Each structure stands twice: as C-alpha cells, then as structure tokens.
Amino acid sequence: MNTCAIKVIYKYEMLRAWETLLQSLASPVISTVLYFVVFGSAIGSRIEQIGGVSYGTFIVPGLIMLALLTQSVANASFGIFLPKFSGTIYEIKSAPISMTEILIGYVGAAASKSLMIGLIILGTAGFFVPLEIAHPVWMAGFLILTCISFSLFGFIIGLWADNFEKLQLIPMLVITPLVFLGGSFYSVSMLPPAWQTITLFNPVVYLISGFRWSFFEVSDVSVGVSLTMVLVFLGACLIILRWMFRTGYRLKQ
C-alpha cells in the first residue's frame, strides 16, 4: 500500500476545500439557518411535536443528512472529474499508485469534508433548538458510514460523467428529491398508508430513520434495518467500483 501517494491526494483535496472555504463550509451553514427559519419557525409553529419531539428539533437529523448526502456526492464526483477534465488523470495513472489507493485518497478526503460539514451543521443547530443525542456512538457510526458510502457513490458518478451536465444530473434529479421525499422534514407515519408503502422503497428513508433514532430513539423503521441498508449500499458501490477498475470503464479513454 502506497501510503505516501494516498496522503498526497488526500492533502491536495483537503487544501482545495480550504481554498474555497466560503463555498465548502459557509454555504451549507447558511442553508441550514434558512431551513430553520422557514421550516422550524413557519411550519414548526403549526406542528407542535412528532413522536414526542418538537418539530424544530425533529428536523435536525434530516438537515444533517441532506447536507451529508449532497456534499459527499459533490465532493467526490468533482474531485475525480476535475483530473479527467483537465487531463491530469493520466499523470496520476502513470504514477506508481493503484486505483485502490487513488480511491482511498479521493474518497477519504470527500468523506472527511462531508463529516466536518455535518458536525458544523450539528453545532449550528444547537443554537436554534435544544439537542440531546441519546446514542452518540450510533450517531457517529451513521455519520461516518453515510459519508463513506455516498462519497463512493460520488466517485462512481465522477468516473461516469464525461461533461459537467452529467456531473450535476444525478445529484440534482435523483439525490436531492430522494432526500426531500425520504422523511427529512416529516415522519413517514404522517403519510397515508399507500404512500407509506411507496416511501419505503426510497433508500434514503432508512438512512434518515436510523440517524434520527440515534438522537431521539424515534424512527420510521428498525435501526437494524437502517444499518443493514447502509451496509448494502456501501457494498454495492464497492462492487461497481471494482468492475469499473477491472474493465477500465471511462478510465482508458
């Protein structure tokens, strides 16, 4: 394992984030504040509690997951797409480093940036609503697994995309709608029975439900099922990446 090369890629990606600090960190925090103003104040005044939790507090895990999923995908996809677009990917491929080591460097940096953003949003939420984490170890586990899983997914998108339009296609048309329809701002139990069944086909529901349980012990599905779904998604991403590396998909062009 070429740890030196992994460190170089990791440090480069992290430095790129610090150079765009306003976009990387400030933007998600400002968005979170706006969500609290709109959803927490306007809608929260009409909904007193959900599962014994005040509405403003209830939406915190959903807001964090919204940021984690979108930022993990964006960071990882752009991180690997930029060398492809600029042509520097060939310099990386010609270096004595394997695709697995490249993957660890890029995904590790993307997951680290997303994790920092999640923690910052968690801290920001504490200024608006009282927060108590019932199971901090589970909360940290869901945070880390989600960051890694969706950073891997973003890496896949970055390899697949051959232009900026495709790079934004899946995050805008798939990821964001799934998050909003996955119980970020409401409980699935509030929906009509038919819609509850349909919603359970949304994989994001299991991520948000398990993460919310770690805060309030309130969930739409079993925490065991949520954890299993996260691990299944993680495994699926690894299988797809292994196939991409073996076949050289979008890497030999």
Say whether pLDDT at 233 is over 70. yes
Residues in the chain: 253
The yes-or-no verdict on residue 36 having pLDDT over 80 is no
Q: Is the pLDDT reported for residue 253 higher than 60? A: no
Give, for 1, the enclosing helix (H) or strand (E). none
Residue 21 has pLDDT above 80, yes or no: no
Question: Whole-angstrom Cα distance, residue 75 to residue 19?
Answer: 14
- HSE at residue 59, side-chain half, CA atoms within 13 A, is 24
How far apart (Å, rounded) are the C-alpha atoms in residues 57 and 116? 20
> Which structure tokens are listed for 132?
């108590």
pLDDT digits (tens, 9 = 90+) for 125-177: 888 888 889 999 999 999 999 999 999 999 999 999 888 888 888 888 888 88
Q: Are strands 53-54 and 49-50 parallel, antiparallel or unpaired?
A: antiparallel
Of 30-34, 160-164, 197-201, 227-231, the poorest mean pLDDT is in 30-34
Q: Residue 80: which residues within 8 A CB-CB, separation 6 or more?
A: 89, 106, 155, 158, 159
The answer for residues whose C-beta is within 8 angstroms of residue 118's C-beta and 6 or more apart is 64, 67, 68, 143, 147
